[in-house]
Amino acid sequence: MKAMRATLVGLVFVIGCAVGGAASHFVVPPVRAGTSPTRWEYACLEDPRAILKKSNELGVQGWEMVGGAASGANWGAEWVWCFKRALP
């Protein structure tokens, strides 16, 4: 029983050593000093009749679509499209 337990502990140790180096690839690096994260502004459209025209206008201004949602009966009664762009 003691030999089996020692073997199991040794096996876990070897596996831990083998994957220990890979674990560092999953850590988010800290933010570098002197940099600031990107700040965003958002705009949402709710009028389905003007979505094509308005989304093209927003695209020309540097906005990108980040999400859309529908609600209501048959998922079509109310729509919302949201866009974002980086603040200068």
Mean local confidence (pLDDT), 3-12: 67
Listed in sequence order, the residues at least 6 apart from 72 whose beta carbon sits closer than 8 Å to its beta carbon are: 78
pLDDT exceeds 70 at position 73: no
Tokens representing 23? Answer: 């674990």
Residue 39's closest CA among 6, 74, 87? 87
39-88: CATH class: alpha beta
Listed in sequence order, the residues at least 6 apart from 62 whose beta carbon sits closer than 8 Å to its beta carbon are: 85, 86
**Model pLDDT for residues 16-66, shown as the tens digit of each residue:** 666 666 666 666 666 665 667 889 999 999 887 888 899 999 999 999 999
